[in-house]
């Protein structure tokens, strides 16, 4: 009989102690889960924005500002203060207490381009909860749950969580492709942003390269609609274009870049493709001779181990509840899920007949970056 590996910290525990440890861990998980849902409530009802606008407020003032029930607002304010998310002056009775959102916490909650922005976390949890029954049902069918079925909350969560990285760090990533970076700065070229989502990566590419024509491609129609609105707000003109389509379809790609592309980017998208080797081969087919594919995807271990770290647990959670069902829904193929390990990527690159993947020396807590080139 094979030896089973025990979860970290429990190897030396007796069965009763192990049971107690798991019971405690599950029970303690209730608190942060519920707090995230109350954070999402604060976003959806405009309570954080209202509190920041007012500077500080009592229950009645915030309820009036946000068109909300005073009794609900009181309970939410007390809960948020207990959780340490908002500040409170405890003088006076419950109706008179004044609450405030500190500038530090407002940055985390309300500044979309802050490096500390975390509004997407609660949106992701609530969005996965909205689709949970569909995922449970599909465990018996294996047909998948489409990305579109996960709805606006998950779409906005992914957009919100990734936007600061694109806005603040994209230049650092691209500097690791010095020849391509220099070329795009000095010559008119085409960049294809595959799996562009709501377009923040595409917009950041266009801002870095004023001479480039940047094309964002994504299967999700709702994401492309939002991407077009975001680009219009950014006032980048006709240099930025968005297309609903499959980044693995060579006919679409050749229409978009008939003269070739200097750079193709794939940010947190390849693990969602149901034919990843085929997608890489198709994207490489439009690269010009000096071009490359830049991939940014999950920073996970090279091999599975049940005693995984925080990132393994995080990405497996996303995979079970979102990424894997969405990929399965794309049809027959290789449904990898969120956990894209470097050796698996190497296999896809080899199957596509390409060079690489070369791991780039980019310091990022969540993603690992790779360069893939033509054969």
Residue 374 binned pLDDT confidence (cut-offs 50, 70, 90): very high
pLDDT, tens only, 311-366: 999 999 999 999 999 999 999 899 999 999 999 999 999 999 999 999 999 999 99
pLDDT above 90 covers a percentage of the chain that reads: 91
Q: Are strands 190-194 and 213-218 parallel, antiparallel or unpaired?
A: parallel
Say yes or no to pLDDT of 7 above 90. Answer: no
Say yes or no to pLDDT of 25 above 70. Answer: yes
Say yes or no to pLDDT of 94 above 90. Answer: no
**Tell me, what DSSP letter sits at residue 122?**
H
The pLDDT mean for the chain works out to 95
Fold exhibited by the domain 125-373: Rossmann fold (3.40.50)
Query: Average pLDDT in the 32-42 region?
Result: 98
- Its sign, for the CA torsion 155, 134, 327, 242, is negative
Query: Average pLDDT in the 141-157 region?
Result: 97
Residue 13 binned pLDDT confidence (cut-offs 50, 70, 90): confident
Say yes or no to pLDDT of 100 above 70. Answer: yes
The angle formed by the CA atoms of residues 73, 74 and 76, to the nearest 5 degrees, is 65
Domains 15-109 and 125-373 belong to one CATH topology: no
Quickly tell me which residue has 């087919």 as its tokens.
Answer: 285
Query: Average pLDDT in the 294-314 region?
Result: 94
Q: Residue 9's pLDDT is what?
A: 63
Domain boundaries, the chain: 15-109, 125-373
Residue 12 binned pLDDT confidence (cut-offs 50, 70, 90): confident
* CB neighbours of residue 25 within 10 Å: 11
Q: Which residues pair with 264 in a beta bridge?
A: 192, 293
- CA distances 49 to 65, 117, 301, Å, are 10, 14, 39
Query: Average pLDDT in the 147-176 region?
Result: 97
Say yes or no to pLDDT of 3 above 60. Answer: no
Query: Average pLDDT in the 86-92 region?
Result: 87
State how far the Cα of 156 lies from the Cα of 152, in Å rounded to an integer: 6
* CB neighbours of residue 137 within 10 Å: 11
- Hey, is 144 helix, strand or coil? coil
Q: Residue 375's pLDDT is what?
A: 87
Residue 308 binned pLDDT confidence (cut-offs 50, 70, 90): confident
Q: Residue 258's pLDDT is what?
A: 95
Entry pTM: 0.93
pLDDT, tens only, 230-281: 999 999 989 999 999 999 999 999 999 999 999 999 999 999 999 999 999 9
pLDDT above 70 covers a percentage of the chain that reads: 97
Fold exhibited by the domain 15-109: Arc Repressor Mutant, subunit A (1.10.10)
State how far the Cα of 317 lies from the Cα of 325, in Å rounded to an integer: 12
State how far the Cα of 153 lies from the Cα of 159, in Å rounded to an integer: 10
Residue 169 binned pLDDT confidence (cut-offs 50, 70, 90): very high
């Amino acid at each position: 009989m094979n030896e089973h590996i025990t979860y970290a910290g429990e190897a030396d525990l007796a069965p009763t102690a192990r049971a107690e440890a798991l019971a405690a861990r599950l029970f303690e998980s209730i608190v942060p889960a519920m707090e995230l849902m109350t954070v999402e409530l604060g976003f959806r009802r405009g309570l954080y924005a209202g509190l920041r606008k007012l500077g500080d407020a009592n229950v009645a003032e915030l309820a009036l500002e946000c068109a909300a029930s005073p009794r609900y607002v009181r309970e939410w304010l007390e809960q948020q203060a207990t959780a340490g998310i908002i500040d409170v002056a405890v003088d006076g009775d419950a109706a008179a207490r004044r609450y405030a959102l500190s500038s530090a916490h407002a940055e985390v909650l309300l500044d979309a381009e802050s490096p500390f922005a975390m509004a997407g976390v609660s949106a992701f949890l609530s969005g996965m909860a909205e689709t949970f029954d569909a995922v449970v049902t599909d465990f018996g069918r294996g047909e998948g749950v489409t990305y579109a079925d996960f709805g606006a909350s998950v779409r906005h969560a992914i957009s919100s969580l990734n936007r600061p990285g694109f806005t603040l760090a994209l230049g650092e990533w691209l500097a690791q492709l010095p020849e391509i970076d220099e070329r795009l700065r000095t010559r008119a070229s085409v960049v294809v942003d595959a799996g562009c989502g709501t377009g923040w990566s595409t917009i950041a590419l266009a801002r870095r390269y004023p001479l480039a024509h940047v094309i964002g491609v994504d299967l999700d129609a709702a994401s492309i609609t939002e991407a077009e609105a975001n680009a219009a707000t950014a006032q980048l003109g006709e240099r930025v274009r968005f297309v609903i389509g499959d980044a693995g379809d060579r006919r679409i790609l050749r229409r978009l870049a008939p003269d070739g592309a200097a750079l193709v980017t794939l940010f947190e998208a390849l693990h969602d493709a149901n034919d990843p080797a085929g997608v890489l081969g198709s994207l490489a087919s439009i690269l010009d001779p000096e071009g490359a594919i830049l991939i940014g995807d999950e920073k996970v271990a090279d091999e599975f181990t049940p005693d995984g770290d925080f990132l393994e647990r995080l990405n497996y959670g996303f995979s079970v509840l979102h990424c894997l069902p969405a990929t399965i829904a794309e049809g027959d193929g290789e449904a990898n899920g969120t956990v894209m390990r470097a050796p698996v990527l190497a296999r896809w690159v080899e199957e596509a007949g390409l060079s690489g993947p070369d791991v780039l020396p980019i310091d990022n807590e969540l993603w690992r970056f790779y360069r893939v080139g033509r054969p």
